[in-house]
Structure 1
Amino acid sequence: MSDWTDLLPDPAKAYLHDRKLDEVECIISDLPGIARGKAVPASKFAKQSQFYLPDSIFYQTITGDWSDAAGKEGFIEKDMILRPDMSTATAAPWTGDWTLQVIHDAYDRSGEPISFSPRNVLKRVISLYEAQGWKPVVAPEMEFFLVAPNINPANPVEAMMGRSGRPAAARQAYSMSAVDEYGPVIDDIYDFAEAQGFEIDGITQEGGAGQLEINLRHGNPVKLADEVFYFKRLIREAALRHNCFATFMAKPIANEPGSAMHIHHSVIDKRTGENLFSGPQGGETDAFFNFIGGLQKYLPAGIAVLAPYVNSYRRYVKDHAAPINLEWGRDNRTTGIRIPISDNQSRRVENRLAGMDCNPYLGIATSLAAGYLGMMEKIKPTKQFRGDAYEGDGDFPQVLGEALDEFDECEKLHQILGVEFCRVYSIVKRTEYQEFLQVISPWEREHLLINV
């Protein structure tokens, strides 16, 4: 083995044991969370310390069109310098040869991090915590659907065919029999995750037809965002092996629940190693309540990042397993902010707003940013909600255009996430929104064509 392979994480070394590495995929997340980059022969990767991609990858919409988000120099597609983070090196076990993936960080020519690169945005937020002597800890939950192949976008998404020969059934939450229906896909997910060195905390059947949830162990926010970024590709590849699609759309099937990326947060005092949300006698601290207050105050402005597409807002339906407001409650899944049952050291706050369609780096960064502002400004939350929060009113934007307006107006959130990132993000998302508004839907043709 060459010198650089000695730096690989243990799972990557185990994957390559007694095997010849053929290729390395040098990747970076764009704004939607799509892996961009280059695949290079292993021999070439061994000789390079960096490679280049144009900054325009961050100006593209989800459809591949270009937004007018370039800076003062104009749309010249200047190169960024991408450097590998070797701690992220992991297998690509679905490939036909022996391949590694490595996440890269983006810098400009003066060595400064590119401010609108999603991984850099999350690192920026974490650095603000660290400056206070705090260490944020997160645990994401990933919900997704396994669906029948959808070749024609004009057709509705349908449930996948299960092992029994019947379509996956809805309203079978936590059913082990339902999980068994797509056991072969789950087996490949486990195998791929093991090869990549990822630890799954559990897989459960959710309430939708063919809807699953994967929980990840709590830890460093960047590491967990990397894993969600990797997992999306891993799960898609496992599904394709079994003639189905994996989708992370927030609301892929009408009349079914949507898919969330619930984010659990806690904050550790770096000096003592203690959870800042729990006091010496085990009680809830001011920091705990301030974090909740920050989520309540700033997530309405951050919803444009947690729910980044027009489809995202179809998930927020009363009594459909997604929150409609930012009430908070203990062990209450109807509230937007939930406090799970835990011991004192594990006390945490769960943000239930984020959709699985959001970029994991940006979703986690925005959630942490809101909590950070709450702790710094000592924001007090509303009174704990008791009962069914679906009986209340909504208190965050319900459409993308309104969400972007609130995002644009929140200067304090811009200061935490980065002003330049917020500028680029808003322009890209408004471009996507305008693209969507040009599309005439079947509903409009059915009900308006000859009736109005």
Structure 2
Amino acid sequence: MSQEPNWMNLIPDHASEWLDGRRVEEVECIVPDLVGISRGKTMPAKKFSESSRSFLPTSIFYQTVTGAYADMDIKDQWTETDMVLRPDLSTACAAPWTDDIILQVVHDLETTDGEPIAIAPRNVLKRVLSFYEAEGWRPVVAPEMEFYLTRPNTDPNEPIEPPIGRTGRKGIGRQAYSMVAVDEYGAVIDDIYDFAEAQGLEIDTIIQEGGAGQIEINLQHGDPLELADEVFYFKRTIREAALRNNCFATFMAKPMRDEPGSAMHIHQSIVDAKTGKNIFSNEDGSESEYFWGFLGGQQENLDSAVPIFAPYVNSYRRFKADDSSPANIEWAQDNRTTGLRIPISNAEARRVENRIVGMDCNPYLAIAASLACGYLGMKSGAKPREQRKGDAYRDGVTLPQSIREALPRFEENQALRDLLGEDFCKVYEGIKNQEIEEFLSEISPWEREHLLLNV
């Protein structure tokens, strides 16, 4: 990109409208890492215009969530080869919480020979979408984002507490869909709306969820890559809005012991790329073979993808047979005790809701893995089990209960690994195993409280 006008003409309308004739001062060149947070570099807009290529080391994908590096069986792992940053200017948007005029731009990652970096999460999703494209199919998704607003937690040894609302009282749980509860945190919600509008991010609805200070934002349905980018941007947006109002926003799966967990439910349907018609429905409005195949593929393979949907030791605290939590991979029409729910809809909007995914996931990887499971079923002609009648919680929790239990299932499903890419899968396993070792080396407050003087 040699001249500023060339790339400025390619940014979305919402970015141009936000600039309103102002000169861009800086550009944040960002990529989502395996955790799903932003990594990259900031540069003056002039340098961004003049730069032919920018680079990042491959080692950004060898870090655990703590920042430690994992040693893996990778050839020349520590030669720190460079990856080329390739801007996707369709993702350019404001960074409205800053005092400067800054644009964020998500970048793809390539080798110096122009090949996609296989372990980059955005490329993993693109890879899965390419299999759908080859069949003439186009997935449509709609994520639901749940998160908690909390009091600032500056001492990790102290439990997380709900925030103080406008009434001066601490938030309380079990107030799902309460408009009064949402109004308690009106200043934060207002900033989220303002920041989202400045970035061109569309919000479908905002509701109070069941936990104390727990909020849910539903996004419009659309292209999986675009929706993954939106979730990626929203996480930063929500955190910035919370910090502006003296509280934290957390996307931990289970931040508080006695409050419900936070999910990222994914609504999924598939349309014909040429006609735009939902192939989950026949002409007479009944369920198609593609629908049953996708649903069967979810039941057969989601269990293997749990390490992506529940990536940390904390994630498994959310798997409980109560509070609308996921506990199984059963399916049913309009039943929130099953991990796979078929919402009430007309034939055009028929879809499968994956309720297993936690909000602590990487959105690119979670959407990729969920769609990959459905694709495998559509290609193999899989059949789902019988619809679960009544309360599926009576069966208890049948999902893995720890990341250590879940990883072998991920390692053994070669069909799923082939879709996600073997290089990615090996690195992901290495990172997860390193995180397990790091966690097991820690001594928790529970151990100090109950074992120090009692055993």
Fold similarity call, TM over 0.5: yes
Q: Which SS does the other structure have where 1:190 is aligned?
A: helix
Give the conservation status (yes or no) of the 8 Å contact 1:59–1:70.
Answer: no
Give CA deviations for 1:181-226 in whole Å, capped at 9, x if unaligned: 0000000000000000011000000000000000000000000000
Distance 1:243 1:222, change over 3 A: same
- How do 1:353-364 residues align onto structure 2 when only pairs under 5 Å count? 353-364=356-367
Query: How far does residue 17 in structure 1 lie from its aligned partner after superposition?
Result: 1.0
Give the conservation status (yes or no) of the 8 Å contact 2:7–2:89.
Answer: no
1:312 is matched with 315
Q: Which amino acid aligns with 2:377?
A: G
Q: Which amino acid aligns with 1:362?
A: L
* 1:408 and 2:423 matched: no
2:212 is matched with 209
Question: Which of the residues 18, 23, 38 maps onto 1:20?
Answer: 23
1:380 is matched with 383
Question: Which of the residues 221, 224, 228 maps onto 1:221?
Answer: 224
Query: How far does residue 356 in structure 1 lie from its aligned partner after superposition?
Result: 0.3
2:128 is matched with 125
Query: How far does residue 74 in structure 1 lie from its aligned partner after superposition?
Result: 3.0
* 1:267 and 2:270 matched: yes
Q: Which SS does the other structure have where 1:193 is aligned?
A: helix
Query: How far does residue 71 in structure 1 lie from its aligned partner after superposition?
Result: 2.2
Give the conservation status (yes or no) of the 8 Å contact 2:206–2:215.
Answer: yes
* 1:419 and 2:422 matched: yes
Structure 2 CA distance, aligned partners of 1:50 and 1:214? 36
CA RMSD in angstroms comes to 1.0
* 1:246 and 2:246 matched: no
Q: Which amino acid aligns with 1:409?
A: E
Structure 2 CA distance, aligned partners of 1:293 and 1:320? 26
* 1:175 and 2:178 matched: yes
Q: Which SS does the other structure have where 2:216 is aligned?
A: strand
1:369 is matched with 372
Structure 2 CA distance, aligned partners of 1:115 and 1:42? 29
2:46 is matched with 43
Q: Which SS does the other structure have where 2:9 is aligned?
A: helix
* 1:335 and 2:335 matched: no
Structure 1 CA distance, aligned partners of 2:368 and 2:248? 28
Question: Which of the residues 49, 53, 56 maps onto 1:53?
Answer: 56
- How do 1:113-152 residues align onto structure 2 when only pairs under 5 Å count? 113-152=116-155
Give the conservation status (yes or no) of the 8 Å contact 1:26–1:102.
Answer: yes
2:8 is matched with 5
Query: How far does residue 450 in structure 1 lie from its aligned partner after superposition?
Result: 3.6
2:435 is matched with 432
Q: Which amino acid aligns with 2:248?
A: F
2:445 is matched with 442
* 1:157 and 2:160 matched: yes
The worse-fitting range, judged by mean Cα deviation, of 304-313 and 291-300 is 291-300
Q: Which amino acid aligns with 1:292?
A: L
Query: How far does residue 70 in structure 1 lie from its aligned partner after superposition?
Result: 6.2
Q: Which SS does the other structure have where 1:345 is aligned?
A: helix
1:346 is matched with 349
Query: How far does residue 72 in structure 1 lie from its aligned partner after superposition?
Result: 1.1
Structure 2 CA distance, aligned partners of 1:345 and 1:80? 42
1:277 is matched with 280
Structure 2 CA distance, aligned partners of 1:391 and 1:37? 47
Give CA deviations for 1:256-285 in whole Å, capped at 9, x if unaligned: 000000000000011332111000100011
The worse-fitting range, judged by mean Cα deviation, of 43-52 and 157-166 is 43-52
2:95 is matched with 92
Give the conservation status (yes or no) of the 8 Å contact 1:49–1:83.
Answer: no
2:36 is matched with 33
Structure 2 CA distance, aligned partners of 1:236 and 1:26? 19
Give the conservation status (yes or no) of the 8 Å contact 1:50–1:84.
Answer: no
1:194 is matched with 197
Query: How far does residue 443 in structure 1 lie from its aligned partner after superposition?
Result: 1.8
Any unmatched runs of 5+ in structure 2? none
Q: Which amino acid aligns with 1:229?
A: F
TM-score (norm: length of structure 2): 0.98
Structure 2 CA distance, aligned partners of 1:129 and 1:321? 31
Give the conservation status (yes or no) of the 8 Å contact 1:323–1:390.
Answer: no
Q: Which SS does the other structure have where 2:79 is aligned?
A: coil
Identity %: 61
Give the conservation status (yes or no) of the 8 Å contact 1:11–1:196.
Answer: yes
Q: Which SS does the other structure have where 1:180 is aligned?
A: helix
Structure 2 CA distance, aligned partners of 1:371 and 1:20? 45
Structure 1 CA distance, aligned partners of 2:316 and 2:42? 36
Query: How far does residue 168 in structure 1 lie from its aligned partner after superposition?
Result: 1.1
Structure 2 CA distance, aligned partners of 1:258 and 1:68? 32
Query: How far does residue 445 in structure 1 lie from its aligned partner after superposition?
Result: 2.4
* 1:110 and 2:113 matched: yes
Q: Which amino acid aligns with 2:65?
A: I
Any unmatched runs of 5+ in structure 1? none
Give the conservation status (yes or no) of the 8 Å contact 2:56–2:82.
Answer: yes
Give CA deviations for 1:17-42 in whole Å, capped at 9, x if unaligned: 12121100000000000100000001
Query: How far does residue 68 in structure 1 lie from its aligned partner after superposition?
Result: 1.3
Structure 2 CA distance, aligned partners of 1:282 and 1:193? 36
Question: Which of the residues 392, 395, 411 maps onto 1:392?
Answer: 395
Give the conservation status (yes or no) of the 8 Å contact 1:26–1:38.
Answer: yes
Give the conservation status (yes or no) of the 8 Å contact 2:11–2:90.
Answer: yes
Q: In the comparison of the two structures, how many residue pairs are matched?
A: 452
